[in-house]
């Protein structure tokens, strides 16, 4: 950490006014939309080349989107970097290509990373592919804490070199003063450089192929899940609260801005609330460490306030601790109320929040919360939500989402967030099991469905996303929907694209942004078979919601706006003269924050090309509910070829690689993958509307010489 601070201090004053990092500048200068290569089958029938765009002004796009999109579903998963999941996806800025042309390792930041061998010699690790044979669905959890994430990014001025992911991970498990890391340390370092493809992730790759994949979206805050779960609904993790209450930045392990996985106060052992207003907690998994890990009350603005519209003043009257909860939004409340917008429906569905359908008959009426992960519930951190029954009425369990969809109980419009947890509520279990005792034990550890390494199985997790997409596609809401599949943060795994540095924390470490995360947008009005290079973070989701439903940006609310201005004062906390102009929400007034409009096809919105039918998004239930998906041959089943295979790049898996050095130090042997051909179709073969004739797709990129 000291080394980072010295490096930052030496360069920030010089770099603060320079151009954005080179990787960002390249993306900004290139066309925003990149057609993926080789459309085929149903995709070819609906593919519309971006060159055919009518070039609509943004105001016209907003008007058309408001006419057609009434529902936003955010399928919010856990802990995956873009390169770890889509680094070999053709058409994207990945490990081996910028999406248009091949890129040599020397031009890819961090491609070669230093590692220390167990004998003390210096070695090197490069990205390598893992799949079903390496049990890629069940891997251990690498470090993604705030400080170590900053160290892994290796900041020099305002540019991150992205080259210390392996070494910093290895040092965590190496005894202090030793230059001989144990095997576990080396294997954890190697794990940061592993990546998966469509053999492991066929459902996610299928959606990316058929709709719009974003390859320039970053996690908002450098750090773990909690800050970014909060940022998903507020655009920040407490920077404006820090500006107003500087003393709260120095209260030990629980501070603002939130930079760690502190658990919500409400529902913790410190919370004295009783009765139905008490929030849930998994007291086995999140004890609060005697109160030392319990978060402060978050008092800055979030979307649930702007969602309330002109009824906000009436809603906030129900807060049972209004004096403390609402102290920092006193100007925001009348501003939102007097804006006269109608209230917007919203819901936060999270596994284990209440009684789930798979719980035994003797479970408590409100649910056992055994699968609940409180530090993934962004709304629960805000006192003005957790202390207000009119607000907590918007929070539900995961089973409630499927029940509401089946019963068609959603209102006429709204925004709905959906999250998994520790145990798959449909009872799915990890696919692989070679019969050995250790395999049985490992299998028990990976039954979660939110995609978080360390406890979730990738197959189960992508099946949950597919079940969610299917539920929407089969509902009356499909025709007016936008579905966003995205992640909270990047897990501490390698990604090669340096993020734009927007702000620094109270100690001078970079705060925002962190590494890239995947984001896929699915809609009847989406572009088909494209990659968007539009830059942004979780605020881009907020910015889309702001535009669709005509609600004021969080960054423009009076209390937040004043705090942003106060935070920009160099006397406040600008390290070495850096002007903190971006402390707070980024859904306005912040450079490099897109609104995801690039995912929508203007011709579909104008009615000149048919909307994409629901069946185009569906994956058959039999496929979804069978593990491993497509027998471990996902790429072949969905008809995709990866960039590394197109370029004939050899895949060198380290000889001592173990996907689970912590939970299974003695690895289960690599599983043979059946070689039988796969004939299952990934989606329904129902007729798909024909798009206008397009020019022939560009030929595949030739193999590197």
The dihedral formed by the CA atoms of 150, 252, 377 and 449, expressed in degrees to the nearest 10: 60
Q: Report the percent of the chain where pLDDT is more than 70.
A: 88
Question: Tell me, what's the pLDDT at 578?
Answer: 84
How far apart are the C-alpha atoms of 667 and 671, rounded to whole Å?
11
How far apart are the C-alpha atoms of 127 and 195, rounded to whole Å?
7
Domain contains 705: no
Question: Are 128 and 651 contacting, i.e. CB atoms less than 8 angstroms apart?
Answer: yes
Segments forming the whole domain that contains residue 385: 2-646
Domain contains 691: no
Structure confidence at residue 340 as a pLDDT band (50, 70, 90): confident
Domain contains 306: yes
CA 468 to chain centroid: 16
**What is the secondary structure of 392-458 as a DSSP string?**
HTTEE-HHHHHHHHHHT---SSEEEEEE--SS-TT----S---S-HHHHHHHHH--BSS--TTTB-H
Across the range 13-21, mean pLDDT stands at 37
Domain contains 704: no
pLDDT in tens, 192-209: 999 999 999 999 999 999
Question: Tell me, what's the pLDDT at 30?
Answer: 56
pLDDT in tens, 524-547: 999 999 999 999 999 999 999 999
Question: Tell me, what's the pLDDT at 434?
Answer: 65
Question: Tell me, what's the pLDDT at 704?
Answer: 34
Among candidates 179, 78, 194, which has minimal Cα distance to 658? 194
Across the range 61-72, mean pLDDT stands at 98
For the chain, the domain total comes to 1
Domain contains 502: yes
Domain contains 660: no
Is the pLDDT at 320 greater than 80, yes or no? yes
Is the pLDDT at 513 greater than 80, yes or no? yes
Among candidates 614, 302, 325, 333, which has minimal Cα distance to 480? 614
Question: Are 599 and 523 contacting, i.e. CB atoms less than 8 angstroms apart?
Answer: yes
Domain contains 659: no
* Kind and range of the H or E run holding 325: helix 322-325
Across the range 389-413, mean pLDDT stands at 98
CA angle centred on 71, ends 68 and 76, rounded to 5°? 135
Residue with more model confidence, 383 or 289: 383
Question: What's the chain's average pLDDT?
Answer: 90
Structure confidence at residue 474 as a pLDDT band (50, 70, 90): very high
Instruction: Count the neighbouring beta carbons within 10 Å of the beta carbon of residue 161.
Output: 12
How far apart are the C-alpha atoms of 474 and 85, rounded to whole Å?
27
Is the pLDDT at 603 greater than 70, yes or no? yes
* Kind and range of the H or E run holding 521: strand 519-522
Structure confidence at residue 666 as a pLDDT band (50, 70, 90): confident
Across the range 585-591, mean pLDDT stands at 96
Question: What does the buried/exposed string (b/e) look like for 263-277 if buried means 16 or more CB atoms within 10 Å of the residue's CB?
Answer: bbbbbbeebeeeeee
Structure confidence at residue 669 as a pLDDT band (50, 70, 90): low
* Kind and range of the H or E run holding 188: helix 183-191
Kind of pairing between the strands at 155-156 and 159-160: antiparallel
Using only C-alpha atoms, the chain has a radius of gyration, in whole angstroms, of 24
Domain contains 656: no
What CATH number is associated with residue 483?
3.40.720.10
Question: Tell me, what's the pLDDT at 10?
Answer: 40
Question: Tell me, what's the pLDDT at 282?
Answer: 87
Question: Are 547 and 65 contacting, i.e. CB atoms less than 8 angstroms apart?
Answer: yes
Question: Tell me, what's the pLDDT at 163?
Answer: 98
pLDDT in tens, 478-512: 999 999 999 999 999 999 999 999 999 999 999 99
The dihedral formed by the CA atoms of 70, 76, 82 and 87, expressed in degrees to the nearest 10: -80
Question: Are 206 and 619 contacting, i.e. CB atoms less than 8 angstroms apart?
Answer: yes
Question: Tell me, what's the pLDDT at 441?
Answer: 78
Question: Tell me, what's the pLDDT at 288?
Answer: 53
Residues present in the chain in total: 705
How far apart are the C-alpha atoms of 666 and 155, rounded to whole Å?
36
pLDDT in tens, 101-142: 999 999 999 999 999 999 999 999 999 999 999 999 999 999
Is the pLDDT at 461 greater than 60, yes or no? yes
Can you count the helices (H) and strands (E) in the chain?
28, 17
Among candidates 394, 406, 184, which has minimal Cα distance to 304? 394
How far apart are the C-alpha atoms of 83 and 32, rounded to whole Å?
19
Question: Tell me, what's the pLDDT at 157?
Answer: 86
């Amino acid at each position: 950490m000291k080394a980072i601070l010295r490096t930052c201090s030496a360069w920030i004053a010089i770099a603060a006014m320079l151009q954005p990092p080179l990787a960002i500048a390249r993306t900004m200068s290139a066309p925003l939309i990149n057609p993926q290569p080789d459309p085929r089958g149903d995709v070819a029938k609906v593919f519309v080349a971006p060159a055919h765009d009518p070039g609509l002004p943004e105001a016209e796009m907003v008007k058309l989107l408001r006419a057609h999109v009434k529902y936003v579903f955010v399928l919010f998963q856990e802990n995956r970097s873009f390169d770890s999941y889509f680094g070999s996806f053709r058409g994207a800025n990945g490990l081996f290509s910028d999406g248009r042309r091949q890129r040599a390792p020397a031009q890819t930041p961090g491609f070669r990373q230093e590692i220390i061998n167990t004998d003390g010699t210096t070695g090197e690790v490069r990205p390598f592919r893992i799949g079903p044979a390496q049990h890629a669905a069940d891997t251990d959890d690498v470090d993604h804490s705030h400080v170590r994430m900053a160290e892994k990014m290796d900041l020099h001025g305002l540019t991150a070199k992205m080259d210390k992911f392996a070494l910093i991970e290895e040092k965590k498990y190496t005894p202090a003063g030793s230059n001989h890391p144990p095997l576990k340390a080396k294997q954890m370092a190697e794990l940061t450089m592993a990546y998966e493809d469509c053999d492991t992730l066929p459902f996610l790759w299928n959606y990316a192929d058929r709709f719009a994949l974003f390859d320039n979206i970053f996690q908002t805050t450098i750090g773990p899940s909690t800050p970014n779960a909060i940022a998903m609904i507020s655009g920040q993790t407490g920077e404006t609260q820090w500006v107003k209450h500087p003393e709260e930045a120095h209260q030990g392990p629980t501070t603002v801005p939130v930079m760690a996985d502190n658990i919500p106060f409400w529902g913790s052992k410190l919370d004295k609330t009783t009765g139905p207003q008490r929030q849930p907690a998994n007291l086995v998994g999140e004890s609060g460490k005697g109160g030392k890990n319990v978060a402060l009350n978050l008092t800055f603005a979030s979307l649930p306030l702007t969602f309330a519209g002109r009824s906000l003043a009436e809603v906030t009257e129900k807060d049972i601790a209004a004096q403390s909860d609402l102290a920092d939004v006193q100007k925001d409340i009348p501003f939102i109320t007097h804006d006269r917008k109608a209230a917007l429906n919203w819901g936060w569905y999270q596994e284990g929040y209440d009684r789930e359908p798979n719980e035994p008959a003797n479970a408590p009426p409100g649910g056992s919360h055994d699968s609940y992960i409180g530090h993934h519930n962004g709304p629960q951190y805000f006192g003005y939500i957790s202390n207000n029954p009119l607000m907590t009425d918007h929070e539900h369990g995961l089973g409630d989402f499927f029940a509401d969809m089946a019963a068609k109980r959603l209102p006429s419009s709204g925004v709905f967030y959906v999250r998994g947890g520790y145990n798959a509520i449909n009872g799915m279990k990890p696919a692989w099991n070679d019969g050995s005792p250790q395999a049985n034990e490992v299998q028990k550890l990976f039954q979660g469905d939110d995609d978080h390494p360390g406890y979730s199985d990738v197959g189960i997790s992508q099946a949950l996303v597919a079940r969610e997409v299917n539920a929407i596609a089969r509902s009356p809401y499909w025709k007016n929907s936008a579905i966003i599949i995205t992640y909270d943060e990047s897990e501490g795994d390698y990604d090669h694209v340096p993020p734009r540095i927007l702000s620094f924390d109270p100690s001078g470490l970079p705060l925002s942004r962190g590494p890239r995360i995947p984001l896929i947008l699915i809609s009847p009005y989406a572009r088909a078979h494209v990659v968007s290079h539009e830059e942004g973070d979780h605020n881009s989701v907020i910015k889309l919601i702001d535009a669709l439903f005509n609600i004021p940006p969080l960054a423009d609310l009076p209390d937040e706006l004043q705090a942003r201005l106060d935070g920009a004062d160099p006397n406040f906390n600008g390290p070495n003269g850096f002007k903190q102009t971006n402390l707070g929400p980024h859904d306005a007034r912040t450079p490099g924050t897109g609104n995801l409009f690039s995912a929508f096809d203007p011709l579909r919105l104008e009615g000149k090309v048919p909307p994409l039918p629901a069946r185009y998004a569906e994956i058959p239930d039999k496929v979804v509910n069978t593990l491993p998906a497509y027998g471990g041959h996902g790429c072949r089943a969905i008809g995709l070829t990866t960039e590394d295979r197109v370029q004939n790049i050899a895949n060198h898996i380290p000889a001592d690689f173990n996907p689970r050095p912590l939970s299974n130090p003695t690895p289960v042997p690599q599983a043979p993958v059946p070689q039988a051909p796969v004939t299952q179709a990934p989606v329904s073969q129902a007729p798909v509307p024909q798009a206008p004739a397009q020019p022939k797709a560009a030929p595949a990129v030739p193999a590197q010489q």
